[in-house]
Structure 1
Amino acid sequence: MKLTNNPLMFTTFSLMLLLFIDSTLGATLTGGYHEIKDINDPSIKLIAEFAVYEFNQQKKTNLVLKEIKKGYYQIVAGTNYRLFISAVDKHDDHKSINDYVTVVYEGLPSQNPVLKLVSFDRLLKTKN
C-alpha cells in the first residue's frame, strides 16, 4: 500500500516526522525569536542593506548602514529577521549616527518577492 494513497497513514507519518524534527531542533523550528549567532554573516549584512535601501526608497531618505549591532530570527512560513542597526544620513556629512530596529521577512523560495521590509523604526536615545 502506498503512503500517499492512505490519508490516515500519511497524516500519522507526517505528525511523527514533525514531532521528530521538533524534538531534534527544539524551539528553533517555529515560534519566538532566536539570537543570530554570527551577525557578520554576509547574508545578514545583505538583509540589513536591503532594509536600509527599501526604507530610503519608501521615505525618500539617504541613510547609509554603519553597523549591525545584534539580530534575531523567527521561523514562520519563511523567516523574519529583526535587526538592530546603526545608520547615518549621507547628506548630513555622516555626523549623527542613529540606531534603528528593522524587521525583514524572507519568504520561501516559491514566493515573490523573496525579501519584504516589514518595519523600520528609529530607536530613541536614552540618557544615562
Structure 2
Amino acid sequence: MKNKAIFLLLLSLVLLPLYASASPLVGGWRPLKDVNDPHVVEIGEFSVTEYNKQSKSGLKFMSVVSGESQVVSGIKYRLIVAVNDAVEIANAGASKNYEAIVWEQAWLKSRNLTSFKPAI
C-alpha cells in the first residue's frame, strides 16, 4: 500500500509539469505563432482603421510586426503594427511602429480598440 502511494505521488510529480505546460494560462499573454495569419492581419488593419476614425488621422496599415494574445472573456490582442503617415509618405517618411490593443469577442462579432500608442 505504501509503495503504491509513493508511486502515484511520483507519477503525479512527473506528469503535472507536462500537463501544465501544454495548457494556455488564462489571463497570461502568449506570443502569436504567425503574425501573417489572415485573422491577425485583419485585427491589425482594424486597429489602424479604428484609430484613424477616433483621432481623424491618416495612418496607413503596413504589417503586423509582432504580437501576443490573452484569453479574457474573449481574446485580447497586443500587436506591434507598422504604419505610414499619409503626410510623411509625401515627404518620403519611413514606417513607424505602434502598439495596438484590441479586445475581440468573436461570438458577439465585437471588436474594441482599447489602446493605440507609439511603440517604444
Whether 1:68 aligns to 2:64 is yes
Q: Which has the larger radius of gyration?
A: 2
Runs of 4+ in structure 1 deviating by more than 3 angstroms, as ranges, are 22-25
Contact (CA 8 Å) 2:41, 2:63: kept in 1 or not? no
Q: Which residue of 2 aligns with 1:95?
A: 93
Percent identity between matched residues is 31
SS in 2 for 1:30: coil
- If asked which structure has higher relative contact order (CA below 8 Å, sep 6+), I would say 2
The Cα shift of 1:67 comes to: 2.0
Q: Which residue of 2 aligns with 1:10?
A: none
- Note the residue ranges of structure 2 that are not aligned, 5 or more in a row: 1-18
My pick for the range that moved more, 38-47 or 89-98, is 89-98
Q: Which residue of 1 aligns with 2:30?
A: 34
Give TM-score scaled by structure 2 length. 0.75
SS in 2 for 1:37: coil
Equivalence map 1:46-61=2 (5 Å): 46-61=42-57
RMSD between aligned residues: 1.9
Contact (CA 8 Å) 1:77, 1:108: kept in 2 or not? no
Q: What is the number of equivalent residue pairs in this alignment?
A: 100
Give TM-score scaled by structure 1 length. 0.71
The Cα shift of 1:44 comes to: 0.4
Equivalence map 1:104-123=2 (5 Å): 104-109=102-107, 111=108, 114-123=110-119
| Structure 1 residues 97 and 24, CA gap change in structure 2 (3 angstroms) | closer
